[in-house]
Structure 1
Amino acid sequence: MLRLRLRHTVLSQLLSSSPASPISHLSRLFSAAAPAVSPNPSFAVEEYLVATCGLTRPQALKASAKLSHLKSPSKPDAVLAFLAGLGLSGADVAALVARDPLFLCAKVEKTLAPNVAELTGLGLSRSQIARLVSLPSVTFRCRSIVSTLEYLLPLFGSTENLLRALPRAGGSILSSNLERVVKPNVAFLRECGLGACDIARLCIPTPSPLSISTERIRTAMACIEGLGVPRGSRMFKHALQAVAFLSEEKITTKVEHLKKTFKWSDAEVGIALSKLPPVLMRSNQMLESKSEFLISEVGFEPAYIAHHPALLTYSLEGRIIPRYYVVKFLKENGLLDHNRSYYTVFIVMEKVFVEKYICPHKEVAPYLAEDYDAACRGEVPTRFKFT
């Protein structure tokens, strides 16, 4: 424990010093703070992970398999002191170690401390760096993370924007080769008319289109144009997200399924995809159930759905079906014009729907709101009550 406290003190001194302080000073401080520790044949990694790092026994058992080479707590102690000096809580440290056990083997003087110094030089505060270290999508024990983050910051506009986006992102963009993959992809996408904000959004999903080869992005772009979505259009970035990781064979299969399911012509498929490319990412089962209800029950024509593909983004059970039966009930009981479009009913916000189609009929249909709530829970009554 004395050694750990000494290392914590040393790291605190280093991290509180100015960004210009030489990182090599850390090595001298460590040498003075604690004597070298000889390998300990009896060092129990699993017990160390539980007692010192705060892992649960199952977590420690799993993590210890990656740390079996450790013969003493020297290196893990230094890493834990580093994390404590950054201000990470015990829970944050436990989560980090459980997620990435090899972080305990990172080199403080050669990797972790230089990363902190360089990120501080980029304008990140101590608390922001601590947040970065804690993110599941970030591998802070790699030196390359600094150059990648330095490149991404202008795309996101600010450190805060980047830190807010990264929790939703996977590690694919941060672990991709900056010079051979990320930069060429960004340059190509700029040529296609995408701005910094659009490109930044492509960094967020896992996997990100920016993490694949530029050749693959060019192929995807050609496929997108073949689907009727021109580069530079508002839907281009959404189309790229939808098809970047699909093979041409899978895209062809999906298009054929759309034609069969919705009885669309080639032209109608093109219209639907140009308006809503993510339709390609919807499951076949979901598309089939929506086609059955919208065409057979509601009575929409296939061409109408192609021109209004937003219908395919709404929950069938939680939105479309309950609203359909409410409006059908109102029409059948003379409370609503029979020509009222179901499309306008499906697309309005929930608050607007309730105010427009439920509240005005409380006196003549007192059970309508109750039945609608039940329908939204998947318990569509066999008949809406009317008194």
Structure 2
Amino acid sequence: MVAAYALFTHPFVTSSSADSIFSFTLPPPLTAHFSTSSLTFRNHEWSSLLKLAKTPRPEPNPLPTQLGLRPNEQFLLQCSSDPVADFGTHSSLFQAVGIDEKEARVLLEKNPALALTSLDSLRTRIESFNSVGLDGLVLSHLITKCSNLLTAEEIDPFLSFVRHDLEAKIEPGQLKRLFRAAEVRFLVGFDQKVSLLLGRGVPSEKIVDVLNKVNLYKALCLKSVEEIDRTIAYLNRFGGIELIVRRPSLLNYDLETQLAPRIEFLTEVSGGDENATGTLLGKLPAILSYTVDHTKGHVELLRSLAGLSDEQIFKILLVFPNVVSASRERKMRPRIEFLKQCGLSSNDIYKFLTKAPLFLGLSFEDNLAYKLAFLVKIGYKYRTRDMAAAIGSATRTSSDNLQRVIELFLSYGFSCADIVVMSRRHPQILQYSHSALEKKMEYLINEMGREIGELLAFPAFLGYKLDDRIKARYEVKRKILGEGLSLNKLLTVSSESFSTKTPAYVIDLNVNVE
């Protein structure tokens, strides 16, 4: 009847004269709501209809004011309790985002508030997402997974902060992971936590880099301002905010159950020296990503198998913190066993590892195997102290450079046995750049007029800087003492002794200068 009243003044009303029958033909937009396209009323029915038309209709019950609905939206809500019934008003907007009709209907069923939200509000929210880099398929997937992203009140302040204060520089991938993981209520206070980091010393030019490298949900959203502040205060004893700037993911960890126990264990190994622990963390903040059990396993292996003390182990950690990333069973154990088979004592192993710690970390198949083959080929005997010293030096260079060094010596007339003799006296020659060695050898022969064989007696010559040491000293002493200079004394004496004008540098070139 209400529908009939609405049609009373409609131009589609017609009369059939004699029998006073009024016929109503519904306009096309309304035919879908009725079973037929016309309604017919006789005189007595029409009288009743007129009385009904003159009777004032009761006002609809007001909707809750907190919904903030416009009058036309209130009317729509009263006419139908099904939010999907008015889907057509939002259809084009959803399609523009990349959400098809089927997905949109599912969204309305899950989140009826979408149907009650104006198109302008939805459009503004979508534009806000677009402004921080979330658009296209990424945004459509987010909305289908978390439909309240279009209606939750907490979203707008967060997006505004990211867009304006952080200049929309947070990576879209970071925001996508955050919105998928976090309930919107956890976004409240995000700006305060960022302000805390800035106030605690994170440089403004680094803040975006920090935020892009943390798990925003774990590091900021799930933690209160007080929790974050306590973490920073604790780290101040060991390097402070600089550790966070260099390794932002430290903010992901819980202070009480993760960070503090890991730092305390390292401090224990250091003998309680917090300054030394801070130095270690400064060299490799990522060491705190390993659990206490993991690090303890590496320390215990060095204690039991290599026979090292905690003091020695900590010094190795200072030289090569990444030792904690080496596999204990696949790398550390067999290589320490190798050093022991070469005749090295616990103290020898300690000295070896402080000079060549990479020995514990390098790949065997892609690195060490080739170098061992080169050394055996030129005459080193396997599992000897000389072999250990040579492989220790070789770990500090590439396989390609080691091969080129050996080929360079051979090209200058040295035999494989000569190379072994020189490298035994000065193992570092195996790790020097082949191009730098060639320049020094050419200068020795062409500029200094010396025999290449002198390197057998004094291979350390190849370890000094060509311009700053060799050329500089040779030019000074040649003017004073002529050509007959001892390579050994020319290069090894202190700067103070070298500055004195004494003829002690004159030497018979036929005398062994070892």
TM-score, normalised via structure 2 length: 0.52
Cα–Cα, structure 1 residues 119 and 94, in superposed 2: closer, same or farther, change >3 Å?
Answer: closer
CA shift for structure 1 position 180: 2.9
Separation of aligned partners in 1, 2:499 and 2:410: 35
1:255 aligns to 2:391 (yes or no): no
Q: Which has the larger radius of gyration?
A: 2
Partner of 2:221: 72
Q: Distance in 1 between matches of 2:274 and 2:384?
A: 39
Aligned counterpart for 2:243 among listed residues 96, 121, 128: 96
* Equivalence for 1:242: 393
Kindly report which structure 2 residues correspond to 1:1-387, keeping only aligned pairs within 5 A, or say none: 39-41=186-188, 43-44=190-191, 47-48=194-195, 50-67=197-214, 69-70=216-217, 71-72=220-221, 74=223, 78=227, 81-82=230-231, 84-85=233-234, 88=237, 92-116=239-263, 118=265, 124-125=271-272, 127=274, 130-131=277-278, 134-138=281-285, 139-143=287-291, 144-152=294-302, 158-169=309-320, 171-204=321-354, 208-213=358-363, 217=368, 220-230=371-381, 235-244=386-395, 250-260=401-411, 262-332=412-482, 339-355=484-500, 357=502
For the 8 Å contact 1:46–1:60, the answer to whether it is kept is no
1-side partners of 2:192 and 2:424: how far apart? 56
Q: 1:168 to 1:63 in 2, by over 3 A?
A: same
Cα deviation 1:164-207 (Å, max 9, x = unaligned): 554443x4312112233212221221111223334334544687
Aligned residues: 315
- Shift, 1:313, TM fit: 0.8
Between the aligned partners of 2:231 and 2:276, the Cα distance in structure 1 is 12
Task: Considering Cα pairs closer than 8 Å and 6+ residues apart, tell me whether 1 or 2 has the greater RCO.
Answer: 1
List gaps (5 residues or longer) in structure 2. Answer: 1-183, 506-514
Partners of 1:251 and 1:280 within 8 A in 2: yes
Report the 3-state secondary structure (helix = DSSP H, G, I; strand = E; otherwise coil) of the residue aligned with 2:343: coil
1:127–1:342 Cα change, 3 Å: closer
Counterpart of 2:461 in structure 1: which amino acid? L
User: Would the aligned equivalents of 1:173 and 1:210 in 2 still touch at CA under 8 Å?
Assistant: yes
Counterpart Cα distance in 2 of 1:114 and 1:153: 21
RMSD: 3.8
Q: Is the 8 A contact 2:298 2:324 kept in 1?
A: yes
Residue matched to 1:28: none
Q: Determine the C-alpha separation between the residues in 1 that align with 2:358 and 2:225.
A: 33
Kept in 1: contact 2:429–2:462 (CA 8 A): yes
Overall identity of the aligned pairs, in %: 23
Q: Is the 8 A contact 2:380 2:386 kept in 1?
A: yes
Q: Which runs of 5+ in 1 are unaligned?
A: 1-36, 333-337, 361-387
Q: What is the alpha-carbon distance in structure 1 between the residues aligned to residue 227 and residue 339 of structure 2?
A: 43
- In 2, the alpha carbon distance for the partners of 1:281 and 1:257 equals 13
Residues in 2 aligned to 1:87 and 1:127: alpha-carbon distance in whole angstroms: 11
TM superposition shift of 1:109: 3.7
